[in-house]
Structures are given as structure tokens and as C-alpha cells.
Structure 1
Amino acid sequence: MRLIILGPPGAGKGTQAARIAERLGIPAISTGDIFRANIKEQTELGRRVQDILASGGYVPDEVTNEIVEDRLSWDDATNGFLLDGYPRTSGQVDALDAMLARHDHALDAVIELEVDEEAVVERLLKRAETEGRADDTEDVIRERQAIYRKETAPLSEHYELVGLLVKVDGMGGVDEVTDRVIAALPHH
């Protein structure tokens, strides 16, 4: 099964991605994790990404697309994957479609975790307190939510138009949400 997961910061997307992938026996692929791992290992890619991020820039689509295409070519992704953090732009959506088409594959579904923004802000503020994340002020958290909405709305609309979007209630216990997602997926 080939999936994408969307959800605002604080929706528990990383946790859900890992659990859903494990249940389906496919790798959860997070572009953020790949970038961080490469930076840590000081690979050529890691150094490129680090320089871009250090100057406050965004990693350009072509770099991100290249990384994803490479990761999707690994053996563990032959029968499916769950992408987290990609695609983020309409350019990346097109690139992903092209990558999959080259291998005669297509996406099965795009999961969107729907959450109550106030509850998420509340949760993130609590987390900032307990984990001592002083930079996670309410303004910063709300700004991240707004950026997410602006960036993701066109993706949701696109995937809804092509009939792939599966909206799932992301509120409640972790197990509950995982069960809801699995139940909502198309069965092959």
C-alpha cells in the first residue's frame, strides 16, 4: 500500500505514521528524518541540506524529490510505503506522481488527520512546558499551524479531487486513532 499522511504540527502525525506503517508492514518515510540522518552522518547531501537550513532557506524541491526517489528505490519500499512530510508543494505532488508512474505504481490513499486546533495548541503549550521548549510560545505554535494550513490546503484539495483523500478524526487515544486510520483505508 502506498500512502501519504498529512496533519498539522502537534497532531501526533509522526507517532501515527510509525504505527500505521508497522501494522501494514511498510516503511514510514519521513523526509525530515532523512535530512537529519544525513546531516548527522555528514554525507554530501547532509552538508548541502545543512548549509541551506543554516541560512534559513527551504530545501529546494529538486533536492527533496531526489532524496525521496532514492529512498523509494530501496527494497523495503517495493510493496509500499507511508510518506510523512512529503509532498509539501504542488511541484512535489507532480514529481511523486511521475516517480510512481515510472515504476507503474500509484498512490492508494492520502490520510489527513483532522484535529481540533485549540486542543492541539493547548497540547503543544503543555509539551513546551514539560520539555522546556522555551521557543514554543503560543504565537510561534499558532504561526506554524497557519503555515501548515496554507501549505497543505492545496494538497488536500488536489487529493480530494482525484479521489484519494481519506479524512480521519485525529483526536483521542493513540490506539483509537491508529484503528480509525486502518479502518478508513481502501481495502485491496
Structure 2
Amino acid sequence: MLNIVIIGPPGAGKGTQSQYIKDKYNLTYLSTGDILREEIAAGTDVGKMVDDIIKHGKLVPDEIVVSIIRHKVLSHLSSPGFLFDGFPRTVHQAVMLDDLMKENNLKISAVLSLDVSVDVLTARMLERAKTSGRSDDNEETIVHRLREYNDKTKPVLDYYEKKGNLHTFCGDRKIEEVFKSLCEVIDEVK
């Protein structure tokens, strides 16, 4: 089973690349952002709490995210594999994901890290805000989200580097160029 984590700062192109990867390799796509936005749109209790957290540029607590991911993984165990987008975001989540994988005789095949300059990230997110209607794509929240990423998510890269399955890519390039590079690594690990 092919299990991929795609990681990078907000605006790095994770969602765009994930769609291509999901389609090419027929993976079950688990985007914490999409899942949490669905909860918000549905107006669930979890959704209301998450909405307030996201609007302030904070990360959703590990317990909420891991619970949602666990449910999704367990309900799709017959899938050819999983593509995790936006998860894990903390080392604690990474450890919990490893535990979930081990419990089900699975492992993370590769962690794909998109490295993008701050200027490009900011420009992408401000442009996305014009078309997406996402409340978390404004300048103040962008600065906070990038700080949160550097503080909480960058250590996840160290965690996976020590495990030997981290692959870093320059995400400033054209979408097609980045996708080609990602596929080269995926094809090696599948």
C-alpha cells in the first residue's frame, strides 16, 4: 500500500499537487483542511469550534485532527493507499499517525516536502483569497499561519528526516515541473 504525506507551508501548492498525485496513483485523499472546512460548512459543534480557531490563524488541536483522520483511515482500509495533505502538522501528530499506521500493518512510504519562499507563499495566498472566499487568506492571518508553520510543523520535517523518508522539493517552480519531481520519488517507493 502506497501512503504519502505531502507537507509544506500554507500556499506551497499542497492541494494542487495532491489532486494530481491522487488521480495518478488512485489514492484516498485525506486533506485535513478540506475535512475541517466540511465540518464548518455543516455547522457541527466541532465545525463551529474549528472555525473560530482557524479564523485566528491557530492550528486545530491534535486530538480533534487525529480523531477525524483515524476515522477516515479505518473506513478506507481497502484503498490502494492514502495521501495525507495538511497532516501531520506537529511531531505529536506524526507519532500518532505512525502508531495508527502500525496498528493496521501500514507505513508511510514517503514524505514530500514543498519548500517555497515567503514572498511566493504570500502572493499565492493573497491571490487565492480573491477567488476562494477562504476567511483564512488575509495578510494578518497569513503572517500568523506562516509563524505557526515554522514553530510547529517544521519540526515534523526533522522527525521524518531522521526516519529516512523525507524528500524535499523546490515548490517555486511550475506546477508540472514540481509534479514530475514528486512522481519520480513516488515511483521509487511504491
TM-score bracket for this pair, using the shorter chain length: 0.7 to 0.9
Q: How do 1:72-151 and structure 2 match up within 5 A? A: 72-75=73-76, 78-128=79-129, 136-137=138-139, 139-151=140-152
| Corresponding residue for residue 24 of structure 2 | 23
Measure, in 1, the Cα distance between the counterparts of 2:131 and 2:32. Answer: 27
Larger radius of gyration: 1
Runs of 4+ in 1 over 4 A off after TM superposition: 55-58, 126-135
Q: How do 1:64-75 and structure 2 match up within 5 A? A: 64-75=65-76
| Corresponding residue for residue 184 of structure 1 | 185
**Secondary structure, in 3 states, of the residue corresponding to 2:6?**
strand
- 1:8-33 superposed Cα distances (whole Å, 9 cap, x missing partner): 11111111111111111102211121
| Corresponding residue for residue 6 of structure 1 | 7
- 1:66-115 superposed Cα distances (whole Å, 9 cap, x missing partner): 11011012237632111011111222111111111111111001000111
* RMSD (Å), alpha carbons: 2.6
Measure, in 2, the Cα distance between the counterparts of 1:38 and 1:130. Answer: 21
Task: Compute the TM-score of the two structures, normalised by the length of structure 1.
Answer: 0.84
Gaps of 5+ in 1: none
How many Å apart are 1:133 and its aligned residue? 8.0
Task: Compute the TM-score of the two structures, normalised by the length of structure 2.
Answer: 0.83
